[in-house]
């Protein structure tokens, strides 16, 4: 592991480019920052290039919607030349639930539980992003204790998501679910904590505008402390079993490379973007909530292939543990919700707001327009899995179908969020 770089966070957005060549890096010398300003020209993405003349006959295969490794009802229309992919068209919408339109027919509070169902692995992060958007719209302040609880729940969610993702990725590689079951063993402990806090294991619904629903149950912080203190052992175990595994290295190195230019232009966010070497983490860029109080680092990848994306998850889990330890140490006593907020009959002033957080899968944004009534006039979501999925074809072309499966696995999608 290299020594952390001394980046000034304010300059990060400007240089969210990471075009510092790894070999130029001298970790002890001061880093010369590139001049601010956009580093990438916006290149319109061309339509799929014409299929090159194949040697044999092309075979069209429809992978999905009922396929064990499409992670839900998702379809890829793949054109194969032998086993090489020449074209891949993602087809989705099988799980479309009219989420955005429903949001416009429902009160602000009534919409809160719907957000759990977007990315059902990370319901608490979704809650937070929505709450953040509404708080911006109504100009609400969040009590100190509630901010800490939000960070704790969001980072626990990240641990759940990343550990399960590594398990699913390995399952796609054919490990019969052994790493997945190891990950689920840890996930169970966190879900127990979520259940104690929110009453639900997966569809947790806990954040509110201006804070959180109720205060923590007695003993909850100790429970979480135990989980967090034991978590690095699990990460070590996973790394020992997987990171140096010969087959995993053979399967993931150089597979599904996402060039940084393409990643930026396509709007890819989250671990996939950082695996391509671009330093962009909303927790550092926006410093929403109280993230500026914690010491943590943002890991950056080197090649942008599936292995880097896998490593990003592992390294981010380690950083999340650090954040959690600090938050659990510093959490103050106090109210968890602003008593002046009237959740029922909640009517924000006329206006618009965009609230975004660094969800485990990338930038999760909620855009709201209020016309002063009890329901939002316009409700729009920027789902990270959906936008990360748009580069799937570029990553898969030229690889085999077996690679496409793990490339898709490493993108980390949840169809509830993709289709909404």
Residues that bind other proteins in the complex, under the rule CB under 8 A: 1-7, 9, 12, 20, 22, 25, 56-57, 59-61, 67-69, 80, 83, 170-178, 181-182, 185, 245-251, 253-254, 277, 279, 281, 284, 297-303, 307-308, 311, 315, 400-403, 405
Length of the chain: 420
Closer to other proteins by Cβ: residue 109 or 191 = 191
- CB 103 to other proteins: min, Å: 35
Q: What is the distance between the alpha carbons of residues 158 and 170, in angstroms, rounded to a whole number? A: 18
Three-state secondary-structure class, residue 45: coil
Closer to other proteins by Cβ: residue 149 or 183 = 183
Give the dihedral of Cα atoms 67, 71, 73, 77; nearest 10 deg: -60
- CB 177 to other proteins: min, Å: 6
Closer to other proteins by Cβ: residue 295 or 345 = 295
- CB 136 to other proteins: min, Å: 26
Three-state secondary-structure class, residue 383: coil
Kindly state the helix (H) or strand (E) to which residue 63 belongs, with its residue range.
strand 58-63
- Which of 318, 377, 78, 344 shows the shortest CA–CA distance to 210? 344
Q: What is the distance between the alpha carbons of residues 139 and 149, in angstroms, rounded to a whole number? A: 20
Closer to other proteins by Cβ: residue 67 or 201 = 67
- CB 247 to other proteins: min, Å: 5
Query: Which residue, chain included where needed, has tokens 């909404």?
Result: 420
User: How many other β-carbons are positioned within 10 Å of the β-carbon of residue 46?
Assistant: 6
Q: Sheet harboring 84-91: ordered strands across?
A: 58-63, 75-81, 84-91
Report CA-CA distances (Å) from 259 to 19, 38, 272, 321. 11, 17, 11, 29
Residues 6+ away with beta carbon under 8 Å from 82: 55, 56
- CB 7 to other proteins: min, Å: 5
Closer to other proteins by Cβ: residue 115 or 163 = 163
Q: Which class for 276: exposed (0-12), middle (13-18), buried (19 or more C-beta within 10 A)?
A: buried
Closer to other proteins by Cβ: residue 246 or 333 = 246
Closer to other proteins by Cβ: residue 76 or 327 = 76
Closer to other proteins by Cβ: residue 166 or 368 = 166
- CB 235 to other proteins: min, Å: 14
- CB 232 to other proteins: min, Å: 17
Structure tokens at 223: 């429970």
- CB 361 to other proteins: min, Å: 19
């Amino acid at each position: 592991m290299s020594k952390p770089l001394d980046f000034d966070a304010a300059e990060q957005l400007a240089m969210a480019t990471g075009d510092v060549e790894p070999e130029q890096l001298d970790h002890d010398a001061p880093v010369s920052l590139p001049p601010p300003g956009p580093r990438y020209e916006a290149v319109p993405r061309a339509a799929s290039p014409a299929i090159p003349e194949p040697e044999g006959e092309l075979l069209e295969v429809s992978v999905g919607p009922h396929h064990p490794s499409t992670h839900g009802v998702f379809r890829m229309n793949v054109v194969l030349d032998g086993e090489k992919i020449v074209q891949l068209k993602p087809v989705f919408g099988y799980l479309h639930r009219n989420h955005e339109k429903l949001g416009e027919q429902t009160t602000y509070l009534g919409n809160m539980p719907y957000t759990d169902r977007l990315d059902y692995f990370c319901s608490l992060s979704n809650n937070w992003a929505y709450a953040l958007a509404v708080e911006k719209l109504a100009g609400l302040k969040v009590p100190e204790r509630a901010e800490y609880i939000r960070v704790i729940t969001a980072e626990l969610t990240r641990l759940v998501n990343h550990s399960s993702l590594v398990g699913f990725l390995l399952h796609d590689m054919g490990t019969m679910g052994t790493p997945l079951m190891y990950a689920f063993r840890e996930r169970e402990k966190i879900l127990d904590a979520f259940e104690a806090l929110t009453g639900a294991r997966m569809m947790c619904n806990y954040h509110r505008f201006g804070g959180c629903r109720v205060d923590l149950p007695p003993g909850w912080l100790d429970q979480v402390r135990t989980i967090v203190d034991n978590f690095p052992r699990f990460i070590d175990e996973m790394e020992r079993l997987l990171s140096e595994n010969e087959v995993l290295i053979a399967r993931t190195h150089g597979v599904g490379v996402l060039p940084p230019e393409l990643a930026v232009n396509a709007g890819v966010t989250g671990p996939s973007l950082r695996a391509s070497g671009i330093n962009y983490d909303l927790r550092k860029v926006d410093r929403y909530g109280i993230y500026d109080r914690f010491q943590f680092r943002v890991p950056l990848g080197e090649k942008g292939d599936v292995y880097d994306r896998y490593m990003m998850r592992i390294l981010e889990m380690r950083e999340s543990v650090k954040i959690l330890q600090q938050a659990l140490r510093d959490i103050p006593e106090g109210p968890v919700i602003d008593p002046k907020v009237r959740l029922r009959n909640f009517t924000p002033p006329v206006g618009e707001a965009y609230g975004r957080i660094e969800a485990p899968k990338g930038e999760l944004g909620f855009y709201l327009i209020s016309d002063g009534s009890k329901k939002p006039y316009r409700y729009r979501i920027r789902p990270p899995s959906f936008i990360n999925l748009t580069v799937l074809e570029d990553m898969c072309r030229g690889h085999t179908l077996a690679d496409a499966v793990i490339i898709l696995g490493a993108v980390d999608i949840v169809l509830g969020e993709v289709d909404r």
